[in-house]
Amino acid sequence: MKKIGVFICHCGINIKDTVDVDRLTEELADYPGVAYIENYMFMCSDPGQNHIKDAIHERKLDGVVVAACSPTLHESTFQTVLKESGLNEYQMEIANIREQCSWVHTDIEQATHKAKLIIKTAIEKLKLNESLYPVSAPVTKKALVIGGGIAGIQAALDIADAGFQVIMVEKKPSIGGHMIQLSETFPTLDCSQCILTPKMVALSKHKNIKLYVNSEVESIDGYVGNFNVKIKQEALYVDPAKCNLCDDCTEVCPVLVPSEQDEGLSWRKAIYIPFPQAIPATYTLDVENCLGLEPIACGKCREKCIAEAINYDATDTIIEEEVGAVILATGFDLYPVENIPEYGYGKYPDVITSLQFERILSATGPTGGEIYRPSDGKVPKEIVFVQCSGSRDPEHHLSYCSKICCMYTLKHAKLYKHKVHNGQPYIFYIDIRAGGKRYEEFVQQAVSEEGILYIRGKVAKIYKEGDKMIVIGMDTLSNKKIEVKADLVVLAMGIVPSEGSHDLVKRLKINTDDKGFLSEAHPKLRPVESLQAGFYLAGTSQGPRDIPDSVSQASGAAAKALILLSSDKIYHSPIIASVDEDLCSGCAICVGTCPYGARELNEVSKVVEVNEILCEGCGACISACPSGAAQQKNLTDDQIDNMIKIIASGK
């Protein structure tokens, strides 16, 4: 039988105050298999680790149970102790008597008893543990970045600058994301395009970056370090290499489409460049609105193009790429404003969204940066901004705070005051959240110097009277109904994961939280990693945030991806599925249950085989296998059975 050492940690008082460690030590000393047992104040400390090492040598231990905190914290610490002592690290088991015992109980008697059972289960498991060695595979030294907003751009540039190849896939005709639509950015009020376009240009010129626009990732197969990506690129009706940006085509195109870039406040043609600084700098033919890709139907643009860049016969292509890491930067959309019908958006042209207002404020926007209201082009003398439109309303809309709306609304009010000096901005708010660097100063300055009127309350209804918009709300400070007559109402819409993000996660089976934002592997300690190995998260696809946070997270994600790309091999936990060939009947029930495609029926031997690198050790196949042939390494049915027996016996 294995000689097992048991090391019980006090964790200062964390464990010791609730679990009688001395009694445990005494009572477990005679348990079959236990060759040595002790308790100590901090097992994870250097002296604590040395206790383990010494005992391994002196007592010739074959395995170690550390009764301490959760294995998510110190498993690797103690595994290293075993390795350094010449034992296989998988001969170590942690009995979690802190999170699963001392922290959740108060009764010393019962907690001590429970701790004893937990330690016994760990001993029973360890008895049948095999020595295992990490599974390894090579790494494809290339990254895929999905989404070309500021977050994706930053991550791509960082990885490319470190000397690795990057494939960027953007759904729209140009990169830039939402930031390219913004006027000026809080809290410094620098021009959004002025700071973004240099990065866009740098990306387009970077020798290590390959950009696919009007493209979407169809599928990603393979595994961390070795993904096969299928990208669907929409037909290139305009050859970017030939197009000389003369703009002749748009002049002749007879079709008008509301401009996406201007949030529907202006028109574009069916052949168009989304904005002058678009990257890649080329025109896109919008097939959905084009009259028909045939000279008989229209054909005006092709006739007009002297560069002969237009080809109506182009077709969608599927491009295959191999990459080692994937960065998801699919961004956000505004919460659908149609969900708040009482605000009258769509019915009244002078109720607009915050992004529309950004366009009105922007020098490249539909009004050239002058503030006119959409209905009649008058300069609005009074504007109401409605914060939390759709946010922080768990009963009807989004439960969460969209984090950026307080700040951008204040920015809107300020920029409005800079242009319309005698104008009066009102802001309906619930709270002002200004937690960022220099944000509070930005707020204070605006309130004291710019004459912005803040009204604490929620807006209940907006309607039109004459040429005024009447905003009805409840002032929650005075508890009085309040009514403001305004020329323009701007809804500070909350933000949600982008539609592109939704589609993608469904296709790629990426974990999201209950709001649809991409899930991080650990909310505090692994915020830029996805639960799927090799996938990293950047920007608003993971949660609402502003530009500085998106950029820092993107650099964080890039750094994580670079750790992977700069390794020659990746190692993978050996706690994975195995198949006993002598038992497998080839019934193939397990094959379809594997979410990672790691199982395959060998048509010759009629036995299922596991691709060890693909297997994540999720255990789906193991519970599916009716014959007991599929087993999880070091977590076999026998081990689980023995552990259950301890717990069920209560002794």
Ligand X SMILES: Cc1cc2nc3c(=O)[nH]c(=O)nc-3n(C[C@H](O)[C@H](O)[C@H](O)COP(=O)(O)OP(=O)(O)OC[C@H]3O[C@@H](n4cnc5c(N)ncnc54)[C@H](O)[C@@H]3O)c2cc1C
What residues make contact with other proteins under the rule CB under 8 A? 580, 582-593, 606, 620, 623-629, 631, 637-638, 641
Report if residue 367 touches ligand X, rule: CB under 6 A.
no
The CA distance from 589 to 45, in Å, is 47
The torsion of the CA quartet 519, 522, 527, 531, rounded to 10 degrees, works out to -50
Of the pair 374, 597, the CB lying nearest other proteins is at 597
The CA distance from 511 to 357, in Å, is 34
Give the helix/strand (H/E) hosting 646. Answer: helix 637-649
Among ligand SF4, other proteins, ligand X, none, what does residue 72 contact (CB within 5–8 Å per kind)? none
Q: Which residues pair with 236 in a beta bridge?
A: none
Write a three-state SS string for 242-295: CCCCCCHHHHHCCCEEECCCCCCCCEEECEECCCCCCCCCCCEECCCCCCCCCC
Give Cβ neighbours of residue 495 (< 8 Å, ≥ 6 apart). Answer: 332, 333, 334, 335, 402, 404, 405, 540, 544
Among other proteins, ligand SF4, ligand X, none, what does residue 386 contact (CB within 5–8 Å per kind)? none
The CA distance from 431 to 317, in Å, is 50
Of the pair 87, 229, the CB lying nearest ligand X is at 229
What is the nearest approach in angstroms of ligand X to the Cβ of residue 172?
Answer: 4
Among other proteins, ligand SF4, ligand X, none, what does residue 543 contact (CB within 5–8 Å per kind)? none
Among ligand X, ligand SF4, other proteins, none, what does residue 94 contact (CB within 5–8 Å per kind)? none
What is the nearest approach in angstroms of other proteins to the Cβ of residue 606?
Answer: 7
Q: How far is CA 151 from the centre of its chain?
A: 11
- When binding is defined by CB under 6 A, the residue of 586, 637, 640, 642 that contacts ligand SF4 is 586
Among ligand X, other proteins, ligand SF4, none, what does residue 610 contact (CB within 5–8 Å per kind)? ligand SF4
- When binding is defined by CB under 6 A, the residue of 149, 366, 423, 617 that contacts ligand X is 149
Of the pair 162, 624, the CB lying nearest other proteins is at 624
Please name the amino acid found at residue 264.
G
Q: Which residues ranging from 389 to 418 are in contact with ligand X (CB under 6 A)?
A: 404, 408, 411
Among other proteins, ligand X, ligand SF4, none, what does residue 49 contact (CB within 5–8 Å per kind)? none
Report if residue 533 touches ligand SF4, rule: CB under 6 A.
no
Q: Which residues ranging from 492 to 531 are in contact with ligand SF4 (CB under 6 A)?
A: none
Among ligand X, other proteins, ligand SF4, none, what does residue 539 contact (CB within 5–8 Å per kind)? ligand X
Look at strands 495-497 and 488-493 and give their pairing.
unpaired
> What is the Cβ-side half-sphere exposure of residue 197, based on CA atoms within 13 angstroms?
13
What is the nearest approach in angstroms of ligand SF4 to the Cβ of residue 220?
Answer: 16
Report if residue 121 touches ligand X, rule: CB under 6 A.
no
Among ligand X, ligand SF4, other proteins, none, what does residue 545 contact (CB within 5–8 Å per kind)? ligand X
Look at strands 190-191 and 382-389 and give their pairing.
unpaired
CB burial readout 115-128, b (16+ within 10 A) else e: bbbbbbbbbbbbbe
The CA distance from 71 to 95, in Å, is 8
Tell me how far CA of residue 375 lies from CA of 227, 400, 425, 487, in angstroms.
Answer: 51, 33, 19, 10
Of the pair 55, 579, the CB lying nearest ligand SF4 is at 579
DSSP 325: E
Q: What are phi and psi of 613, to 5 degrees?
A: -75, -35
Among ligand SF4, other proteins, ligand X, none, what does residue 592 contact (CB within 5–8 Å per kind)? other proteins
- When binding is defined by CB under 6 A, the residue of 584, 635, 643, 646 that contacts ligand SF4 is 584
The CA distance from 533 to 224, in Å, is 6
What is the nearest approach in angstroms of other proteins to the Cβ of residue 637?
Answer: 6
Residue 642, judged by CB atoms within 10 A of its CB (0-12, 13-18, 19+), counts as: middle
Q: Pattern of binders to ligand SF4 over 588-627, x per CB under 6 A?
A: xxx--xx-x-xx--------x-x----xxxxxxx--xx-x
What is the nearest approach in angstroms of ligand SF4 to the Cβ of residue 96?
Answer: 22
Q: Based on DSSP, count helices (H) and strands (E) in the chain, helices before strands.
A: 15, 35
Stretch touching ligand SF4 by CB under 6 A, among 459-467, 488-496, 518-526, 574-582: 574-582
Q: Which residues pair with 526 in a beta bridge?
A: 522
Of the pair 203, 305, the CB lying nearest ligand X is at 203
Tokens, residue 293: 């890709």
Of the pair 371, 594, the CB lying nearest other proteins is at 594
What is the nearest approach in angstroms of ligand X to the Cβ of residue 89?
Answer: 39
Q: Which residues ranging from 172 to 191 are in contact with ligand X (CB under 6 A)?
A: 172, 177-179, 182, 185-186
Look at strands 142-146 and 480-486 and give their pairing.
unpaired
Ramachandran area for residue 293 (φ above 0: left; ψ -120 to 50: alpha; else beta) = left
Among ligand SF4, other proteins, ligand X, none, what does residue 177 contact (CB within 5–8 Å per kind)? ligand X
Q: Which residues pair with 244 in a beta bridge?
A: none
For ligand X, the binding residues (CB under 6 A) are: 146-152, 169-172, 177-179, 182, 185-186, 216, 329-332, 354-355, 358, 404, 408, 411, 498, 500-501, 503-504, 539-540, 545-548, 550
**Binding stretches for ligand SF4 (CB under 6 A):** 576-577, 579, 584-590, 593-594, 596, 598-599, 608, 610, 615-621, 624-625, 627, 629-630
